[in-house]
Amino acid sequence: MLIAGITVGSIYALIALGFVVIHNVTGVINFAQGEFAMLGALVAITLSEKTMLFNRSVSVRLEWPLPLAIAVAALLVAGVGMALYRFAIRPANTRSVIVQIIITIGAAIALRGAALIVWGTDPHRLPNFTNGAPIKIGQAVMTQQDLWMVGTALVLLVLLYLFFQRTLIGKALRACAINRTAARLMGINVNTMTFLAFALSAGIGALAGIVIAPKTFISYDSGAFLGLKGFVAAAVGGLENETSAVIGGLALGLLETLAAGLLSSGYKDAIAFIALFIILFLQASGIWRRGGGSRDAAGV
């Protein structure tokens, strides 16, 4: 059970990271984050398997090798992410939270609808990345795909960590998040950085979707729940802290598997939201933030 929790948790952690990256650099909460996961999976499936598109009227038989399909899918979705910034968020140029939220919701709806048109309501699946005997770790048994899931999540997390902590560009991205004006004074082009943030977020989201696709069926509306849960995980860190987002994701996965065992499985999704409430209220009362609030809290 622990393994199952960590497995699904690592996916949530990845999606959560996508939220945090975009929020940090731009302050926007991307309600379309889950859709990136869905798109990544569906595009990868289309590239590597025989798929019927457009209401069974078009048949696609690219059948590319899986690694190639995955790479291309992630890059394409990264492109979608950049387009989202360029054509929906940047032109709006607004500081109103409501408007930004509605824009990303609109984008999520549009992406979902587009997916519906292209792939219909059929659920799709990727084959297992490798086929082989399940692996025994202590008392628990992990399928090879589970290993891929956790492994990919781990690798991505490590790569991201190194990127943000060791490379200059990664640090520049973090700088944009910490203090936009000071970052500009360093000569950092915040616009370019924002593109990068969106591309990165979308790419990570796509990979998260791809890696979960062999285990669960993905269809046009899978993005909604994934996105929501990723958000809960990200909210643990106040949407600002990458490490907390990862911890949040893992914790959520564990909580969910535990709850599914104890409560009826219909309510397992509710756990996520109850956890969310508790976290949000704790945050609102400022327990998790150090110090007695900030000078700018009053906005004066």
Partner 1 sequence: MFILVALVLAVLPLILRNNYQVSVLVFIGIFTILTVGLSLLMGYAGQVSLGHAVFYGMGGYGAGILVLRAGLPAWAAIPCAAMITGLIAYVIGIPLLRLKGNYLAMATLGLNIIFFLIATNETALTGGPNGLQGYGKLTIGPLIFKSDRQFYYLVWTVALVVLALSLNIVNSRVGRALRAIHGSEVAAETLGVDTARFKVQVLVLSAIYASLAGSLYAFWIGIVSPGDFSVNFSTELVVMVAIGGLASVWGAIFGAAAVIMLTELLRNFLPRLLGSTSGELQIVTFGVILMLIMIFLPEGLTSGIVNRLRARSMRRQENKT
Partner 2 sequence: MAPILELRDLSKTFGGIIAVDDVSFDVQPGEILAVIGPNGAGKTTLFNLISGLYPPAHGDLIFNGRSLTGLKPNRRAELGLARTFQNLHMFENMTVLENVMVGRQQRAPYGLVPAALRFPHVLRTEKRLRAEALTLLERIGLAGRADEPIGNLPFGQQRMVQIVRALAGEPCLILLDEPAAGLTRSEIGALDDLIRDMAKQGITVLIVEHDVPLVMGLAQRVVVLNFGQKIADGNPEDIQRNPEVIAAYLGEKRSLPSLDENKVSLVSENPQPLLKVNDLSAYYGPLCVLDHINLQVAQGEIVAVIGANGAGKTTFLNTLVGLLKPRTGSIRFDDQDITGWATETVVAAGVSLVPERRQIFSTLSVRDNLLLGAYMQRRRSRAELEDDLGYIFDQFPILKSRARQPAGTLSGGEQQMLAVGRGLMSRPRLLMVDEPSVGLAPILIGEIMRVLAELREHGTTILLNEQNAQAALEVADRAYVFENGRLVLEGSAAELCCDERVQRVYLGGG
Q: In sequence order, which residues have a C-beta less than 8 Å from that of residue 299 and are 6 or more positions away?
A: none
Indicate whether 157 belongs to the interface with partner 1 (CB under 8 A): no
Between CA 268 and CA 259 the distance in angstroms is 6
Residue 210: C-alpha distances to residues 32, 120, 223, 264 (Å): 16, 18, 12, 28
State yes or no: residue 162 binds partner 2 (CB under 8 A): no
Longest dimension (CA), the chain: 63
Q: Does 101 bind partner 1 (CB under 8 A)?
A: yes
Site for partner 1 in 53-72 (CB under 8 A): 55
Distances (CA, A) of 131 to 49, 170, 285: 16, 36, 49
Helix axis angle for 2-26 and 222-236, nearest 10°, is 80
CB of 55 to partner 2, least distance (A): 46
Q: Select 138 or 187, whichever has its Cβ closest to partner 2.
A: 187
Which residues neighbour 136 within 8 Å (Cβ) at sequence distance 6 or greater?
142
Check binding of 239 to partner 1 (CB under 8 A).
Answer: yes
Partner whose binding site includes residue 186, from partner 2, partner 1, none (CB under 5 to 8 Å by kind)? partner 2
Sign of CA dihedral 282, 283, 285, 286: positive
Interaction between residue 138 and partner 2 (CB under 8 A)? no
Closer residue to partner 1, CB minimum distance, 184 or 267: 267
**Residue of 27, 106, 127, 293 interacting with partner 2 (CB under 8 A):** 293
Residue 102, contacted partner among partner 2, partner 1, none, CB below 5-8 A by kind: partner 1
- Crossing angle, helix 242-262 and helix 222-236, to 10 degrees? 120
Site for partner 1 in 70-89 (CB under 8 A): 88
What's the token pair of residue 99?
């408007």
71 φ, ψ to 5°?
-60, -45
Q: Which of 133, 185, 287, 300 binds partner 1 (CB under 8 A)?
A: 300
Binding site for partner 1 (CB under 8 A): 29, 55, 88, 91-92, 94, 96-99, 101-103, 105-114, 116-117, 224, 228, 231-232, 235, 239, 264, 266-267, 269-270, 272-274, 276-277, 280-281, 283-285, 298-300
Binding site for partner 2 (CB under 8 A): 168, 171-172, 174-175, 178-179, 181-189, 290-295, 297-298, 300
